[in-house]
Chain A
Amino acid sequence: MDILTLSLLFAAATFIALFSGMPIAFAVGGVALVFMICFMPLAALSLVTETIYAELDNFTLLTIPLFVLMGAAIGKSRAGEDLYASLNRWLYRVPGGLGVANTMACSVFSAMCGSSPATCSAIGSSGIPQMRSRGYSEGLATGLIAAGGTLGILIPPSLTLILYGLATEQSIGKLFMAGVGPGLLLTVMFAAYVMWKYTREKRAARSSADASGDSSHALLQEEHYSWAERFESLPRFAPFLAVIAIVMIALYGGWATPSEVAGIGAFFSLLMVMAIYRCYRWADLRVILNGTVKESCMIMMIIGMSFLYTWVMSNLNITQEAAQWLVTLPIGKWGFFTAVCVLLLVLGFFLPPVAIILMVTPIILPALNAHGFDLIWFGVIMTIMLEAGLVTPPVGLNIFVINGIAPDIPLKAIMKGVMPFIVLMMLAVVLLTVVPGIAMWLPDHYQGS
C-alpha cells in the first residue's frame, strides 16, 4: 500500500472512530491498535502499555493533574466566584471587561506553566461559569478560554519551545524571549476581539429585548458600583495575590523549576481555599477531589493514548514522508514556508504539538537552513501553528478540556466559538512574517547580556 492511501485510511479511521461517540482517549488508542494489528509486526502489540507508560513517565507532563487541582480548588469553591465578583466591580464599565480579564489571566498563567491544557483548566474552571452567568454566549466564553489556554506553549516557559530548541540547536533562552512579544500580541488581539464580540452580543440582546419586551437577559442587567464598593472588594484579592506571589518567587527566585511550581501552586491554592474559604469539611473537599480526578484523568488518558497513536503514525512513517515530500517541492522560499505552515496545520488536526515538533523538525531543518530562515523566528511561527492544532477538530486537546469543565455546552458550540480565534492566530503568523521584529526585538536586544 502506498503512503498516500495509508495516510488517507488513517485519517478516515480517526474521523470515524471519533465521531462514532467513543471517548476521545479510547478512540485514538483504538485506531492505533487496529493499525498496529494490520501494518506492524505482531510483537509490537506487547509494547502497548509500555509505550503509554513510558510517555506518561515524564514529570513535565504530570504537572497537569497538579494544575487541574489548583484550578478545581479555586473553581469548585467560593473562591473563584468571590474573585470574579470583585473583578467585576472594577471592570463592569469596560465592554467585555470580564472576558478581557480572563484573557489576561490566561496570559499570566501561561507565564507560570508550559502547558496549554493546564492553563485552560485552571482559568476555565471558574472563568467559564462566571462569564456564562453574566450573559456571555456559550461560544464566546468557551472559545476565549480554549484559545487563551494555547498561549501556555508560546509565553515562556514553554515545553514545546524547549524541545524545538534542542532539536534545532537554538538558544532556549532566546526562543523564550522571542515568545514574549507574539504572546502579548495574541493576548491583545484576543482581548480586542472579545470586546468587539461582547458589544455585538449586547446590542443583539438589546434589540431582541426591545422586540419582545423581555429584558431579563444577563447582558442587559445594569450594574453600578461606587468607588467605596470597589475599594471594599480589594482585600478579597489578597489571598490570590499571595498565592501568585509565592509561585512567582519560587519560580523566579531560584527555589523551584517550572514543573515543581505546579505542586507549589496546587498546594497553596488548596491551603488558601481551606483556610480562608473554610472548605475543610468533607462535603466541600469531595467536590474539589471529584472535579480534580475526573478532569485530570480525562486529560492524561487522552495524552497517554495519543502517544500510542503518535507512535503508530511515526512507525508507518506518514508524517516523515509528508515532510520529506514537501522538502523536495520546487516552490521557492515563501512557497516552502506556506507549505510548511499548511502541513503543520493539517498535522495539528490529529497530533499533539510535542509529537509534531519531534517528527517534523529534523526533516525540514536542512531546508529551513538552506532557505535562510531565522530558526528562532521560525520556532515562534511553528509554535503558533501548533497552538491552532490544540483547538482544531477532530483531536483538539483544549476543546476537550473545556468540554470536561463545562459538560452542558455542546462541543459544536465550543468549536464554533474558537474559530475566530484560529483566524486571529493565522493573522498573527502573517503579521510576524511581515514584521519579524515583534518576535525578534527582545532576543536581539538582549543578545549581549
Chain B
Amino acid sequence: MLTQIAGALRRFNRLAAYLSGGVIIAASAILVWQVAVRYWLKWPTDWEIELCVMLLIISTFMSAAHTQAERGHVAIDMLDTMLSPRVNRWRLLLADTLTFAFCAFVAWNAWEFFHEAWADGKTSPSLWGPKLWIPYFFVAFGMTTLTLELALQAARHKEAA
C-alpha cells in the first residue's frame, strides 16, 4: 500500500517537474515576445515581467518534490566518509526528520499565506493586477508534495536504520 502511494506520488511529482520545465521555457518565450513587440511595434509591455516572475516562482516550488526524490537538493556529505556507517545512518535519519519538520512547517504556513490572500481577495498593485492566491496556491501545493516526499524518504531511512 505504502509503496503504491509512494509510486503514485513520485509519478505525479515527475510530471509536475516536467511541466515546471515547460513553464521555464514558456517564460523565456514570453520574454522574447516582450522584447520583440516593444522594439518593433512599440506595444505596451505591462504584464509580461510580472507573469514571468510568477511562472518562475511556481516552477521552482512545483519541482521541489521531484528534485528531492532525485536527491537534487545538495547537502554537505563530508561526514559520510569520516563516521562509521552506524553513526551515519542515525545522523541521516535525524537530518531527514529535521528537514521534514522544517518543510512541514513551511507548507502549513504557506497554506495560511494562500488562504489569507484568497479570503481578502488580494491582488498585485500593478495595472494588470492579477489575483495573488494563484501563485501562492502553487507555493503551498509544492511545499506540501515536498513534505510528503520527505516523509516517505524518512520512513525508508528508518526501515534501513
The reply to whether A and B meet directly (CB within 8 Å) is yes
Known: A23-B99, A66-B24, A301-B73. A260 touches B35 (CB 8 A): yes
A270, B31: Cα distance in complex, Å: 14
Q: Contact check: which of B49, B63, B76 meets A293 at CB < 8 Å?
A: B63
Q: Does A33 lie at the interface of the complex (its beta carbon under 8 Å from any beta carbon of B)?
A: yes
**27 residue pairs A–B, Cβ–Cβ below 8 Å:** A19-B76, A21-B76, A26-B99, A26-B102, A48-B109, A49-B110, A50-B113, A52-B106, A53-B139, A56-B57, A58-B53, A59-B49, A65-B59, A260-B31, A262-B28, A262-B31, A263-B28, A263-B30, A268-B32, A293-B20, A293-B21, A293-B59, A294-B66, A297-B67, A298-B73, A301-B73, A403-B74
B residues near A21, Cβ cutoff 8 Å: 75-77, 79-80, 91-92, 95
Interface residues, chain A, with chain B CB atoms under 8 Å away: 17-27, 29-30, 33, 45-46, 48-50, 52-53, 56-59, 62, 65-66, 69, 250, 255-256, 260, 262-264, 266-268, 270, 286, 288-290, 292-298, 300-302, 304, 393-394, 400, 403-404, 410-412
A59, B45: Cα distance in complex, Å: 15
A401 closest partner in B (C-beta): B74
Q: Contact check: which of A22, A255, A286, A304 meets B75 at CB < 8 Å?
A: A22
A residues near B72, Cβ cutoff 8 Å: 294-295, 297-298, 404
B residues near A25, Cβ cutoff 8 Å: 73
A300 touches B60 (CB 8 A): yes
B66 touches A293 (CB 8 A): yes
Q: Contact check: which of B53, B68, B74, B102 meets A59 at CB < 8 Å?
A: B53
Closest Cβ–Cβ distance, residue A324 to chain B (whole Å): 31
Other contacts beyond A20-B95, A30-B101, A297-B63: 14, CB < 8 A: A20-B91, A20-B98, A27-B99, A30-B102, A48-B109, A49-B140, A53-B139, A58-B53, A62-B57, A69-B21, A260-B34, A262-B31, A263-B30, A295-B72
Closest Cβ–Cβ distance, residue A23 to chain B (whole Å): 4
Q: Does B46 lie at the interface of the complex (its beta carbon under 8 Å from any beta carbon of A)?
A: no
A411 touches B64 (CB 8 A): no
A260, B31: Cα distance in complex, Å: 6
A51, B66: Cα distance in complex, Å: 24
Q: Contact check: which of B22, B79, B112 meets A46 at CB < 8 Å?
A: B112
Q: Please give me the 7 A-B residue pairs with the lowest Cβ-Cβ distance, nearest first.
A: A263-B31, A289-B21, A23-B73, A293-B63, A294-B72, A21-B95, A266-B28
Closest Cβ–Cβ distance, residue A231 to chain B (whole Å): 34
A residues near B28, Cβ cutoff 8 Å: 66, 69, 262-264, 266-267, 270
A250, B70: Cα distance in complex, Å: 37
Q: Does B133 lie at the interface of the complex (its beta carbon under 8 Å from any beta carbon of A)?
A: no
B25 touches A69 (CB 8 A): yes
A33, B109: Cα distance in complex, Å: 12
A265 closest partner in B (C-beta): B28
B74 touches A400 (CB 8 A): yes
Q: Contact check: which of A18, A56, A263, A412 meets B27 at CB < 8 Å?
A: A263
Interface residues of B in 34-81 (CB under 8 A from A): 34-35, 39, 49, 52-53, 56-57, 59-60, 63-64, 66-68, 70, 72-80
A residues near B136, Cβ cutoff 8 Å: 53
